[in-house]
């Protein structure tokens, strides 16, 4: 298709109509010129194309699709080839369901372990995040059904992957209005490097802009992020789509290069663009530039959809099982209680054994093609299962009777398999967690079982970090994270020793939340969240501390053992020999960390700069080579506004985790003289790494400007971009009543057990800005109607009510005129 020629044939109205969605999931087509529309669907770990009513919250059931382990799970595999294989299968299924753009992978950094969406993200480390995300993207975009089904044309194009959420979207609380205050160096090195790797190495066709502001400007209209960095610096040639309802000022978004607004707004955004062009505020050439990218995306992805409704191959479930197996992390194995002895009797306890917790909640929720429970798998194995007890109510209700029955069963068995974890409403899009602890009723059960049994194997099912003050009382801990539809099968195979666990943690496990450096600044104030810890996220902070962690980044045990020796380092990379010294075949994730000279540039103790997963038979040795790359030695030099390398002596570490360093060597690197780059007096905590309680003047010095006001203040008039949470301080009685009703409704729903709906209240109302009310309603609520409601909460009830009603009528008249 000659896109420029097609665009020249369009009227201005037709051009503008293509820049916003047709409905909730589809982009607009133009039949007159054979321009196809596109279907965009959620799916970081499976396709969520809804057959009936559409929503962004995971409420309505979708067409069955393979539910793979979540990104947080697969990240523990540290296996880029496996990630690409999963991506390939995702691409196949998306094409079969006629999905042009798969909205994933999610790749935001796990700044804080309480982020409610951490189950959907890879890691606290940008290098690991970027490499895994790039692999997913390559697989998804090569996995169009046309490239893999017999008889398909060889010229078929793949569907598009959409990496998200760009950028610095590291919390769910007030995600649509929060202003992230972060210094440029931390922004570049921690929060953008993963995206950079994914763009440069994965070459995604689509990037999704996030809801939040970054340093005072919404990301969907942020020229620095979208134009200067994403397009000019990284060379991104694809399309940028807003997160659903995440568009702010549509014209400013277009100027920044945000081509597509989703979902559709009933033509309201189109009118804004049309009027801006006619007034001369927006050049038509900007519209044409956006359209050229959109047409290319629609045309190329549509070529992958010629093979429709293909049956999902059986190997997709097998790949889901393989991904889960490779990602299971063995955290403790006292007295080698695992693999399980098939001659011993077993008691199976825990609700999650019977009803699996296998994926997260919200927009990523997949309707699996099949699902199995751990209990069924255990009972069909050669293990001697004497019985099962749930032990606790899934959503937290206490029951002494359930505990008593579980203890009675446990006393009759040689070993207890105890399935614990977080329920579906504890980890969900739109809300952050409030604690790192397991639910209290599960802790009560665990305490009671420890009192009657000495051989307890805990199997964990949750998508993010938890505290484990109880770990000394149990014999083994196996973490399955959220293993997808085949997770139960994968776990039983590991427990039996049919699979040697090889997963390693992609995030640090602190002993308590009090040890987390960002804890004092999460989720921030009412208007802003300040990243006062700078680059010291996860192990970058903890590796400077003598204690404070339960398990380090990169940690994971095996049923065998490995020996590292003979390290050789040169300008190209590091070489060493790895040997399996145990009696079983196994896989080891070897990790390359680099420590900077530590002279003129503040840095973490060490940073991950390479990794690979190596399979070895018993007694086998292999030479491993980890190459240096463009990311190995660089830092972002603010004075040059560019990446730079500091001259000096670097230390190269090879380890089994960030705290288990097996080999090290030194390497002299030539770069720039970085003397006098920083004022040590004003930034001393960033040189020492003691960033737990950074004072405001120190952080302001790091950011390089005065800090914005972080609180809304009482009784201040609310604005269009304020969330409904701010109605607590509204001038008018109607606003304060609205706030009280939201809070009461949430409390009541939670009390009666409707916790999914309670979470929905917080996500879709409490933390939703007035802007979002209009953007998410597909044109049913206009901006002027939302502004009328805003006038009502600001104390002008009758004036706002009148405006709401009259403007609704006027908008319908204008809409009719526009469409005709």
Token reading at 75 = 């990240």
Segments making up each domain of the chain, as ranges: 321-530, 559-582+591-703, 724-819
Which among 171, 132, 181 is positioned nearest to 699, based on CA atoms? 181
Token reading at 293 = 């990218």
Q: Give the pairing type, strands 661-669 and 648-655.
A: antiparallel
Contact 586, 559 (CB under 8 A): yes
More confident of the two residues 51 and 574 = 574
Token reading at 486 = 């085949």
H-helix or E-strand spanning residue 405: helix 400-410
Per-residue pLDDT averaged across 764-769, rounded? 81
Site of tokens 């793979």 = 68
* The predicted structure's pLDDT at residue 231: 98
φ/ψ (deg, to 5) at 204: -65, 150
- Centre a 10 Å sphere on the Cβ of residue 515 and count the other Cβ atoms it contains: 18
SS3 content of the chain, % helix, strand, coil (to 5): 35, 20, 45
* The predicted structure's pLDDT at residue 51: 66
Contact 485, 370 (CB under 8 A): yes
pLDDT at 156 over 90: no
Please give the Cα distance from 820 to 815 (Å, whole number).
9
Task: Record the pTM.
Answer: 0.94
Range in 25-29, 501-505, 811-815 with the lowest mean pLDDT: 811-815
pLDDT at 249 over 70: yes
Q: To which CATH superfamily is domain 321-530 assigned? A: Glycoside hydrolase family 3 C-terminal domain (3.40.50.1700)
* The predicted structure's pLDDT at residue 270: 92
pLDDT at 811 over 60: no
Query: CA-CA distances (angstroms) from residue 494 to 26, 317, 500, 501, 576?
Result: 42, 17, 6, 6, 29
* The predicted structure's pLDDT at residue 599: 77
> Coil, strand or helix: which one is 255?
helix
What is the tens place of the pLDDT at every residue in 584-596? 999 999 999 999 9
**How much of the chain, in percent, has pLDDT values that exceed 90?**
76
Range in 80-89, 538-547, 549-558 with the lowest mean pLDDT: 538-547
What is the tens place of the pLDDT at every residue in 362-386? 888 899 999 989 999 999 999 999 9
> Coil, strand or helix: which one is 421?
strand
Which among 696, 721, 698, 720 is positioned nearest to 710, based on CA atoms? 696
* The predicted structure's pLDDT at residue 53: 52
pLDDT at 55 over 60: no
* The predicted structure's pLDDT at residue 810: 52
Please give the Cα distance from 299 to 38 (Å, whole number).
9
b/e burial code for range 103-131 (CB count within 10 A of at least 16 → b) = bbbbbbbbbbbbbbbbbbbbbbbbbbbbb
Under DSSP, the state recorded for 706 is P
Please give the Cα distance from 721 to 248 (Å, whole number).
8
Q: State the pLDDT confidence band at 417, using cuts at 50, 70 and 90.
A: very high
**Beta-strand runs (E) in 695-766:** none
| CATH code matching the domain that covers 559-582+591-703, chosen among 3.40.50.2300, 3.40.50.150, 2.60.40.10, 3.30.465.10 | 2.60.40.10
629 tagged catalytic:
no
pLDDT at 762 over 80: no
* The predicted structure's pLDDT at residue 716: 72
Q: State the pLDDT confidence band at 155, using cuts at 50, 70 and 90.
A: very low
Range in 77-81, 515-519, 784-788 with the lowest mean pLDDT: 784-788
Which residues are within 8 A (CB) of 751 and not within 5 positions of it... i.e. 6 or more apart? Answer: none
Contact 54, 60 (CB under 8 A): yes
* The predicted structure's pLDDT at residue 804: 79
Q: State the pLDDT confidence band at 307, using cuts at 50, 70 and 90.
A: low
Which among 519, 531, 548, 534 is positioned nearest to 601, based on CA atoms? 534
* The predicted structure's pLDDT at residue 60: 64
Contact 137, 204 (CB under 8 A): yes
pLDDT at 474 over 70: yes
Single out the catalytic residue among 243, 432, 515, 722: 243
Site of tokens 């003979």 = 566
Cα–chain center distance at 491? 23
pLDDT at 150 over 50: no
pLDDT at 410 over 50: yes
More confident of the two residues 151 and 57 = 57
Which among 454, 539, 404 is positioned nearest to 124, based on CA atoms? 539
Per-residue pLDDT averaged across 495-501, rounded? 98
* The predicted structure's pLDDT at residue 714: 65
Please give the Cα distance from 793 to 728 (Å, whole number).
10
Q: State the pLDDT confidence band at 157, using cuts at 50, 70 and 90.
A: low
pLDDT at 641 over 80: yes
What is the tens place of the pLDDT at every residue in 165-182? 999 999 999 999 999 999
HSE-CB of 366 using CA atoms within 13 angstroms: 29
More confident of the two residues 166 and 773 = 166
Contact 147, 541 (CB under 8 A): no
Which residues are within 8 A (CB) of 695 and not within 5 positions of it... i.e. 6 or more apart? Answer: none
H-helix or E-strand spanning residue 352: helix 351-354
pLDDT at 192 over 80: yes
b/e burial code for range 446-478 (CB count within 10 A of at least 16 → b) = bebbbeebebbbbbbbbbbbbbbebbeebbbbb
b/e burial code for range 788-800 (CB count within 10 A of at least 16 → b) = bbbbbbbbbeeeb
Q: In what order do the strands lie in the sheet with 329-333?
A: 329-333, 476-479, 456-461, 415-421, 345-349, 384-389
Site of tokens 């780059």 = 677
Per-residue pLDDT averaged across 703-730, rounded? 85
Contact 571, 599 (CB under 8 A): no
Q: State the pLDDT confidence band at 337, using cuts at 50, 70 and 90.
A: very high
| Helix boundaries (H) for 328-463 | 351-354, 374-379, 400-410, 440-452
Range in 195-199, 291-295, 425-429, 610-614 with the lowest mean pLDDT: 425-429
* The predicted structure's pLDDT at residue 598: 78
Site of tokens 């399309």 = 239
Per-residue pLDDT averaged across 683-701, rounded? 95
pLDDT at 715 over 80: no
pLDDT at 148 over 50: no
Mean pLDDT across the chain: 91
pLDDT at 513 over 90: yes
φ/ψ (deg, to 5) at 618: -55, 130
Helix H, strand E, coil C: the string for 643-705 is: EEEECEEEEEEEECCCCCEEEEEEEEECCECCCCCCCCCCCHHHHHCCCCCCCHHHHHHHHCC
H-helix or E-strand spanning residue 456: strand 456-461
What is the tens place of the pLDDT at every residue in 72-121? 999 999 999 999 999 999 999 999 999 999 999 999 999 999 999 999 99
Q: State the pLDDT confidence band at 546, using cuts at 50, 70 and 90.
A: confident
Q: State the pLDDT confidence band at 724, using cuts at 50, 70 and 90.
A: confident
Which among 449, 453, 421, 424 is positioned nearest to 437, based on CA atoms? 421
Q: Give the pairing type, strands 40-42 and 239-242.
A: unpaired
Token reading at 375 = 């209990």
> Coil, strand or helix: which one is 607?
strand
| Helix (H), strand (E) counts: the chain | 25, 26
φ/ψ (deg, to 5) at 554: 85, 5
Per-residue pLDDT averaged across 324-347, rounded? 97
């Amino acid at each position: 298709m000659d896109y420029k020629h097609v665009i020249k044939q369009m009227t201005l109205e037709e051009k503008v109509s293509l820049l916003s969605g047709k409905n909730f999931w589809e982009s607009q087509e133009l039949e007159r010129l054979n321009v196809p529309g596109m279907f965009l669907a959620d799916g970081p770990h499976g396709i969520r194309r809804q057959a009936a009513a559409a929503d962004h919250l995971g409420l309505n059931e979708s067409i069955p699709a393979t539910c793979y382990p979540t990104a947080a799970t697969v990240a523990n595999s540290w296996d880029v080839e496996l990630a690409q294989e999963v991506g390939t299968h995702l691409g196949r299924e998306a094409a079969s369901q006629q999905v042009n753009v798969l909205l994933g992978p999610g790749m935001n950094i796990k700044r804080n372990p309480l982020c409610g969406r951490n189950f959907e993200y890879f890691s606290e480390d940008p290098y690991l995040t970027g490499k895994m995300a790039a692999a997913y993207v390559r697989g998804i975009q090569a996995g169009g059904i046309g490239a893999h089904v017999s008889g398909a044309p060889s010229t078929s194009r793949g569907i598009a992957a959409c990496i998200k959420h760009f950028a610095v979207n590291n919390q769910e609380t007030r995600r649509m209005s929060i202003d992230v205050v972060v210094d440029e160096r931390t922004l570049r090195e921690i929060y953008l490097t993963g995206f950079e790797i994914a763009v440069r190495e994965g070459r995604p066709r689509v990037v999704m802009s996030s809801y939040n502001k970054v340093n005072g400007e919404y990301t969907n209209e942020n020229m620095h992020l979208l134009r200067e960095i994403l397009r000019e610096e990284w060379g991104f040639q694809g399309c940028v789509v807003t997160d659903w309802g995440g568009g702010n000022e549509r014209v400013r978004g277009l100027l920044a290069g945000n081509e597509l607004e989703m979902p559709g707004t009933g033509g309201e955004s189109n009118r804004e663009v049309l009027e801006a062009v006619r007034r001369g505020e927006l050049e038509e050439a900007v519209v044409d530039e956006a359209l050229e990218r959109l047409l290319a995306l629609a045309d190329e992805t549509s070529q992958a959809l010629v093979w429709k409704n293909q049956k999902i191959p059986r190997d997709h479930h097998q790949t889901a099982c393989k991904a889960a197996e490779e990602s299971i992390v063995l955290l403790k194995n006292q007295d080698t209680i695992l693999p399980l002895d098939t001659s011993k009797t077993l008691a199976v306890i825990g609700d999650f054994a019977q009803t699996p917790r296998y994926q997260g909640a919200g927009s990523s929720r997949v309707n699996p093609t099949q699902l199995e429970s751990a209990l069924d798998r255990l009972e069909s194995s050669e293990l001697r299962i004497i019985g099962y007890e749930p032990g606790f109510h899934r959503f937290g209700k206490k029951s002494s009777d359930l505990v008593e029955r579980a203890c009675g069963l446990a006393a009759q068995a040689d070993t207890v398999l105890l399935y614990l974890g977080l329920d579906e409403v504890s980890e969900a899009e739109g809300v952050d967690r409030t604690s790192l602890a397991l639910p209290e009723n599960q802790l009560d059960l665990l305490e009671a079982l420890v009192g009657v049994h000495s051989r307890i194997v805990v199997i964990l099912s949750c998508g993010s970090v938890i505290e484990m003050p109880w770990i000394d009382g149990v014999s083994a801990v196996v973490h399955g994270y959220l293993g997808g539809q085949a997770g139960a099968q994968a776990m039983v195979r590991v427990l039996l020793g049919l699979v040697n666990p090889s997963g390693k943690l992609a995030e640090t496990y602190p002993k308590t939340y009090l040890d987390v450096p960002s804890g004092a600044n999460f989720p921030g104030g009412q208007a802003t969240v300040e990243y006062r810890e700078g680059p010291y996220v996860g192990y970058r902070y903890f590796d400077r501390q003598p204690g404070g962690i339960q398990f380090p980044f990169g940690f994971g045990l095996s049923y065998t053992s490995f020996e590292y020796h003979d390290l050789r380092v040169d300008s190209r990379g590091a070489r060493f020999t790895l040997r399996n010294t145990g009696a079983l075949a196994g896989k080891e994730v070897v990790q390359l960390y680099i420590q900077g000279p530590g002279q003129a540039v503040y840095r973490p103790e060490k940073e991950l700069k390479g990794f690979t997963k190596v399979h070895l038979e018993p007694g086998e040795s292999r030479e491993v080579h980890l190459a240096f790359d463009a990311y190995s030695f660089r830092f972002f030099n603010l004075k040059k506004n560019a990446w730079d390398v500091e001259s000096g002596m670097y230390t190269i570490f090879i380890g089994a985790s960030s705290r288990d360093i097996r080999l090290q060597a030194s390497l002299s690197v030539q770069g720039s003289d970085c003397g006098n780059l920083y004022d040590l007096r004003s930034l001393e905590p960033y040189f020492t790494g003691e960033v737990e309680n950074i004072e405001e003047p120190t952080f302001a010095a790091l950011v390089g400007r005065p800090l914005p006001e972080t609180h809304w203040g009482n009784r201040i008039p609310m604005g269009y971009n304020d969330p409904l949470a701010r109605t607590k301080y509204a001038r008018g009685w109607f606003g304060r009543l609205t706030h009280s009703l939201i809070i009461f409704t949430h409390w009541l729903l939670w009390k009666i057990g409707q916790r999914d709906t309670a979470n929905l209240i917080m996500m879709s109302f409490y933390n939703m800005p007035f802007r979002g009310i209009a953007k998410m309603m597909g044109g049913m609520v206009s901006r002027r109607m939302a502004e009328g409601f805003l006038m009502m909460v600001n104390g002008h009830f009758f004036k706002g009510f009148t405006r709401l009603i009259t403007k609704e009528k006027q908008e319908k008249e204008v809409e009719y005129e526009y469409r005709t």
